[in-house]
Structure 1
């Protein structure tokens, strides 16, 4: 795994992701602005098994081209999934993300779920509503819990220097 820089300069583009079929994202641009949203990587009816991951790769490349270059990436590190399908999708997206980052020399790191929730809400087991409320309290308007989680990851990275002390 690539290691993240010890400190960030404000003029870097930083990306955080909540990986899943509906992926939440938050981006700290080189101009200091934070933007966020969600993007769907749902399989189409006639898609082959790899199309979800190809679309994810293309989305990352386009984001890097339009808003980058991306200097560092954080993602929610999930250790337990509710179902097999979710685990497979997460694993495929994580493999795609890490390969994409390695090819470009972009450092990346996973952040444990409890760490993100504790930083955002004070509780390591906060529910979706608490995560949404925490993002709104910080001035964001997330569409769903995926976007709220991505915002929380980005704020954690900015406020803790990505966990490097």
Structure 2
């Protein structure tokens, strides 16, 4: 690659504790004109955010050592104009609002499509407040499954408590939890 092409690449920080996912996303974003750097923890993400300003970032919400929102805050402390997208496998309205309040552009479900991530990062604010609808939105079955998984995790993986909160029979919940996630 020539030096002029390297100069045109946009600096991108990827913070995700799933190393395989982070590597795949890094390669995909490199092909889309970004120069990715990977951090696998909140501590590494904050260190990289403070060591050099980031133009763009993709941050997982839940990391082994804490919340990705702490990384988003650190990125905006060192670079107010940074464009940050938060990814998560367990989305809910409260965390989406929290992500936007600390400076995230958008909140996307995992596994995120690299084209959608790039489009969200590069979307100009003149395009309006709402991002374009996803090309392949989650099915109703997938949304239901994600909701059940989120409540299950919030109940510390306690099946009885999760069933009580979801107002469903415990055995029905066990059957749902035993199945794989429906396709997006």
Which structure's relative contact order is higher, taking Cα pairs within 8 Å and 6+ residues apart? 1
Greater fraction helix: 2
Q: TM-score by structure 1 length?
A: 0.31
Q: TM-score by structure 2 length?
A: 0.29
